[in-house]
Amino acid sequence: MEFNILSLIYLLASVTFIVGLKMLSHPTSARKGNAVAAAGMTLAIVGTIFLYNEDGETLGNYGWIFGGLAIGSVVGTLAARRVKMTAMPEMVSLFNGMGGACAALISIVEFDHLIHQPSLSQTFLFAGIEWPKEGLLLIILLGLIIGTVSFAGSMVAWGKLNGSLRDFSFRGQQAFNIGLLLLILGLATYMVVALPANAQLLFYVIFALSILYGLFFVFPIGGADMPVVISLLNSFTGVAAACGGFLYDNKVMLTGGILVGAAGTLLTILMCKAMNRSLTNVLIGAFGGNTAAVAGGIAQGSYKEISLSDAAVVMSYANKVMIVPGYGLAVAQAQHACHELEKLLAAKGVKVSYAIHPVAGRMPGHMNVLLAEADVSYEKLLEMEQANEAFPTTDVVLILGANDVVNPAAKSDPASPIYGMPILDVELAKHVIVNKRSMKPGYAGIENDLFFRPKTSMLFGDAKKVLQDLITEVKNS
Active site residues: 404
* Helix (H/G/I), strand (E/B), else coil: 361: coil
Which residue in 254, 250, 273 sits closest to 52, CA to CA? 250
Query: Of 295, 326, 303, 294, which Cα lies nearest the Cα of 397?
Result: 326
Contact of 257 with 96, CB cutoff 8 Å: no
- Tell me how far CA of residue 168 lies from CA of 86, 148, 221, 297, 458, in angstroms: 23, 20, 8, 25, 34
Query: Please, what is the end-to-end C-alpha distance for the chain in angstroms?
Result: 73
Cα(223)–Cα(157) distance, integer angstroms = 9
**Angle at CA of residue 452, ends 466 and 439, nearest 5°:** 50
- Map residue 198 onto helix, strand or coil: coil
Contact of 460 with 438, CB cutoff 8 Å: yes
Given the DSSP bridges, would you call strands 396-400 and 381-383 parallel, antiparallel or unpaired? unpaired
| Rounded Cα gap, residues 341 and 206, in angstroms | 56
Return the number of other C-beta atoms located less than 10 Å from residue 136's C-beta: 23
* Nearest C-alpha neighbor of 232 from the set 246, 252, 217, 253: 217
Render 281-296 in DSSP notation, one character per residue: HHHHH-TT-S--B-GG
3-state SS assignment for residue 197: coil
Residue 118 DSSP code = S
CA 189 to chain centre: 32
Q: Is the dihedral of CA 80, 403, 167, 273 positive or negative?
A: positive
Sheet holding 456-460, edge to edge: 381-383, 351-356, 320-325, 396-400, 431-436, 456-460
